[in-house]
Amino acid sequence: MDEKKQLKHNVTLKDRKLMDISGIINVEKFNDTEVILETSMGMLTIKGENMHMKKLNLDNGELTIDGTIKSYQYSELDVKQKGKGFLSKLLR
């Protein structure tokens, strides 16, 4: 079975200050205003302020973020497509 399908994915947000995420496959980007994750349910982008990685365990696929969470959004983009330019994505 594919690794992506084996990990159960959950997101828990507490008071927009603490976010627990499971089903993490890879952390693509992490800074204090934006986090981009590959999860078992697609790419997840989290935006906020003063975000810090409180806990990360890629073996178990778990991440905890603290800070001010402003939004989070899923996309179906495959990680392999991420490096391609905007025009090449449009013309495929």
In a domain, 36, yes or no: yes
Does the pLDDT at position 85 exceed 70?
A: no
Q: How far apart are CA 55 and CA 40, in angstroms?
A: 19
CB atoms under 10 Å from CB of 30, counted, come to 16
Gap between the Cα atoms of 38 and 61, Å rounded? 10
Torsion, Cα 8 83 69 60, to 10 degrees, reads 30
Q: Kindly state the tokens that stand for 8.
A: 């159960």
CATH number of the domain residue 21 falls in: 2.60.40.2000
Does residue 90 sit within a domain?
no
Domain of 12 in residue numbering reads as 3-79
What's the pTM?
0.78
Alpha-carbon gap, residue 49 to 66, rounded angstroms: 9
Give the pLDDT confidence of 32-69 residue by residue, as tens digits.
999 999 999 999 999 999 999 999 999 999 999 999 99
In a domain, 89, yes or no: no
Looking at residue 82, its pLDDT comes to 52
Q: Is 84 inside any structural domain?
A: no
Overall domain count for the chain: 1
- Model confidence at 15, in pLDDT bands (50, 70, 90)? very high
